[in-house]
A = this chain, B = another copy of it.
Amino acid sequence: MTAANILAGPANPGSWQYRQLNARAPGLSYLSDALSALVEDGHLVMAGTADLQYSNGLARFAARHPDRFIQFGISEQNMVSAAAGIATTGVMPFVATFASFLGLLCCEQIRMDVAYSALPVRLIGHHAGIALGFYGTSHHATEDLAIMRSIAGLTVVNPADGPQLAAAIKASADHPEPIYFRIGRGQEPNVYEDLPDFRFGKAIEHETGTDLTIIACGTMVHPSREAVRALRASGLSIGLTDMHTIKPLDRDAVLAAAERSRIILTVEEHNILGGLGGAVAEAMAEAGTKAVLIRHGIRDEYSLVAPPTHLYRHYKLDAAGIETVVRDILA
């Protein structure tokens, strides 16, 4: 080795650095591209982040529309309140940071400055759930759905993949309420083709069944679909609903499923308390449905640390795990 090659930096393709994160999380490009499309369609939107432009891929948007991008540094609360201030002037801000910081650290700013003030701010909480694996609890967000759901006047959306996120962002241009978008780490396989139909508050029914219906959201839609395919192939009558909007909840979709199936199984990358499972429980208990609810997710505990795929396996949040959960229930 010579000084020269040490100075040159890594040449090996196996090495990579932070700025290349985008390439490793193709799902994230949907975020930047959907925002760019809004700009290019003439919408007065801007994007901001708190020192995470490579993690959420907004670097891509920033490169394309530097005049519509604001870097806030590591000051998430200032970012959210400033976004509200921006919104008062007629610009629609999209601000993004890890869901743990957006949904928890900024919870009061979201209530006060965004939701109570009824300003069309769009909040993007990415790497939600346990997607940050061994970064640990500080970076996990298994409470954000419960928290955001408790805030009046806020629409809460958990898209299943990049295409659905893009569709939701497009639809958000005319949505009157502020929105919390909860998204994954951009490495999830796609469930949908480009720009699928999307309406806030209108769930998507993938399959209907009488034995059990899975109601899933966000990153759990894809593995649930895989699990449902396998279960149906083995003769079970299993339904699947993508409940992308947690609030307002599509009560009709819940009750229709609960009418058809003996058992409703909610699957979410979130605490089983207060999130999707909680919302579905409220709808079911209120309607007095005959069906029984089982909630699958993080069972009110702090996740272990490990690479995300290992955690999904461990917590039965991958296709095989979800399939096992269903088989155990029906056994």
Contacts and interface: CB of A to CB of B under 8 A. Distances in A.
A154 B288 CA distance: 30
B288 A290 contact: yes
Nearest to A248: B300
A116 B137 contact: yes
Contact of A116 (B112, B284, B295, B302): B302
A302 B150 contact: no
Interface string A264-287: 000000010111011111101111
Q: Which of A138, A149, A301 has the most B CB atoms < 10 Å from its CB?
A: A149
A281 B273 contact: no
B286 A288 contact: no
Interface string A302-331: 100000000000000000000000000000
Contacts of A142: 150, 152
Given A108-B104, A147-B107, A274-B274, A153 B302 contact: yes
Contacts of A21: none
A161 interface: no
A143 interface: yes
Contacts of A151: 143
Contact of A295 (B107, B275, B286): B286
B273 A150 contact: yes
B152 A150 contact: no
Interface of A: 100-101, 104-105, 107-108, 111-112, 116, 137-138, 142-143, 146-147, 149-153, 247, 271, 273-275, 277-282, 284-295, 300-302
